Amino acid sequence: MSHIRVRFAPSPTGYLHIGGLRTALYNYLFAKKNGGKFILRIEDTDQKRFVTGAIESLVRVMETMSLVPDEGVFLGGGKPIQKGDKGPYIQSERLDLYKKYAEELLANRKAYRCFCSPESLEALRAEQTANKQAPRYDKRCFTLTPDEIERKMAAGEQYVLRLNVDIARGDVIFNDLVRGEVKINAKDIDDQVLMKSDGFPTYHLANVVDDHLMEITHIIRGEEWLPSTPKHILLYEAFGWEMPEFAHIPLLLNPDKSKLSKRQGDVSVEDYLKKGYLKEALINFIALLGWNPGQGSTQEIFSLEELIQTFDLKNVHKAGAVFDLQKLNWMNAEYIKKLSVDDLYLAALSGNFLKKPLIKNAPSTAQTPEYLKRLLTIEQNRLAKLSDIGDNNQFFFVAQLSYDTDFLNWKQNSSVMTKEAIVKAREILSGLTDTEWFQKETLEKVLLDAAGEKRGDFLWPLRAALTGAEKSPSPFDVAWVLGKEESLKRIEDALKMLG
């Protein structure tokens, strides 16, 4: 058994960001590939950002996406439950631990109390900016004497704990598994707040303490956390703890190369699921945002199992990855094509895509499972997402079509010719039994034979009568979906219009 342990450590914001899904996925793949453990930890120490039900919805989406952790937070009876011997895995339940470790740093002078008010910090920042210096805390509280500290505390002055960065330490260097050597000078690292005045830890302290106590070996996270890593390294050093490996995965970008944002499209996994993207397609697509199989492979379609086999941090790119919706649509369409019609129907049913007003308001005969499965058979190869079902073929769901009589005429044909064609179609179709009708090939063959050489003369009026639409699948397919009774009704309606 490998000792590899990785974690996904989201802050519960109420939804799972597509970038979070990718971070979770890469951690999951890395763990599974290497026989390690994947841990889900909830980082909820920022009380200002508390959202009710956020943990539940996060865990639920992770489960939906099949990214189930080995340890950490799960759902039991709809509520968060925790499994594993390194818990609790919810940071707000670990406050005593952070306090204990903060006190250890304080005792070793690796951290110090800072009593500066927000106003004086603001003034300091303004002064530094005016002097064209990078804003950083000037350590003025580091030199407070024990007496001064005691007096301030006795007077009830609020304070935070800051990391005591030793500027003389020089470069902080680490080897990122994606980005290679990263170097930053200690003079460019601020004396980071570790404990806030309300007794809550900041992200930095809680994250490092937990990664250590939970024996995390590899920290795989988004590039936006790269600037935090030198601070974390100083913390590991301050505690004298063994350093984990780091891998920072590239930013997700909008097509215009700006950071992926809500303004340019959906960013939550839930939004994509709601639109009818299949979870397998989403996982596949997300996996390729920042990673490729390497070795000249051009494979693009991967099952989760194949991703586990193929995934390697070596093949994660440094450059930002553009979120290309068209590619997602293409990929989703590929996954939809691969489903059996029964599975497609079940996916559509369970995702509530058959409850849209178009279908819900249709005659009951157009809502039966058999009818909808025939529709899906026809649409399957053209669907980009499940929410598109029926949208391009609305005529399948209306009780009464509306079109101009002229619409029934093929090119310059007269309405007499059109009527002849439709009468002929009525004759042929009414002669079919239901069993013959629902053999798609039989229906097609009978109509094609009847059409003879000049197909348009016969097939256009029939298709027009059945759909009333400029564009639609072939008349055979349409008739097959509609069934005998409804098809003949539409034909009669057309004949009535023709007089």
Binding site residues, ligand GLU, CB under 6 A: 9-11, 43, 203, 207, 221, 225
List all residues 6 or more positions away from 133 whose beta carbon is below 8 Å from its beta carbon.
none
Q: Measured between alpha carbons, how far is 30 from 220 in angstroms, rounded to an integer? A: 9
Element (H, E) at 218: strand 218-222
User: SS3 for 65?
Assistant: coil
Q: Are strands 218-222 and 245-249 parallel, antiparallel or unpaired?
A: parallel
Q: Where are the alpha helices (DSSP H) in 72-134?
A: 95-107, 118-130
In the complex, minimum distance from the CB of residue 36 to ligand GLU, in angstroms, rounded to a whole number:
16
In the complex, minimum distance from the CB of residue 267 to ligand GLU, in angstroms, rounded to a whole number:
14
Q: Which is nearer to ligand GLU, 43 or 306 (CB)?
A: 43
In the complex, minimum distance from the CB of residue 7 to ligand GLU, in angstroms, rounded to a whole number:
7
Q: Which is nearer to ligand GLU, 221 or 463 (CB)?
A: 221
Q: Which is nearer to ligand GLU, 207 or 487 (CB)?
A: 207
In the complex, minimum distance from the CB of residue 221 to ligand GLU, in angstroms, rounded to a whole number:
4
Q: What one-letter code names the amino acid at 486?
A: E
Q: Is 262 a catalytic residue?
A: yes
In the complex, minimum distance from the CB of residue 301 to ligand GLU, in angstroms, rounded to a whole number:
29
Which residues share a beta bridge with 221?
248
Q: What one-letter code names the amino acid at 356?
A: K
Q: Measured between alpha carbons, how far is 357 from 263 in angstroms, rounded to an integer? A: 28
Are 280 and 303 in contact by the 8 Å Cβ rule? The answer is: yes
DSSP 34: T
In the complex, minimum distance from the CB of residue 43 to ligand GLU, in angstroms, rounded to a whole number:
4
Closest CA to 387 of 366, 361, 357: 357
In the complex, minimum distance from the CB of residue 207 to ligand GLU, in angstroms, rounded to a whole number:
5
Catalytic one of 262, 355, 360, 454: 262
In the complex, minimum distance from the CB of residue 208 to ligand GLU, in angstroms, rounded to a whole number:
9
Are 244 and 217 in contact by the 8 Å Cβ rule? The answer is: yes
Dihedral sign for Cα atoms in the order 433, 435, 441, 442: negative
User: SS3 for 426?
Assistant: helix
In the complex, minimum distance from the CB of residue 131 to ligand GLU, in angstroms, rounded to a whole number:
33
Q: Measured between alpha carbons, how far is 84 from 68 in angstroms, rounded to an integer? A: 13
Q: Measured between alpha carbons, how far is 327 from 350 in angstroms, rounded to an integer? A: 25
- Count Cβ atoms within 10 A of the Cβ of residue 423 and give its class: 0-12 exposed, 13-18 middle, 19 or more buried: middle
Q: Which is nearer to ligand GLU, 10 or 475 (CB)?
A: 10
Does residue 88 have a cis bond before it (omega within 30 degrees)? yes
Written as six digits, the tokens of 234 are 């100083």
How many helices (H) and strands (E) the chain has is answered by: 20, 13
Q: Which is nearer to ligand GLU, 152 or 196 (CB)?
A: 196
List all residues 6 or more positions away from 7 whose beta carbon is below 8 Å from its beta carbon.
27, 38, 39, 40, 41, 72, 211, 214, 216, 219
Q: Which is nearer to ligand GLU, 43 or 420 (CB)?
A: 43
Size of the chain, expressed as the number of residues it contains: 499
DSSP 369: H
Q: Measured between alpha carbons, how far is 43 from 55 in angstroms, rounded to an integer? A: 10
Q: Are strands 79-83 and 71-76 parallel, antiparallel or unpaired?
A: antiparallel
Active site residues: 262
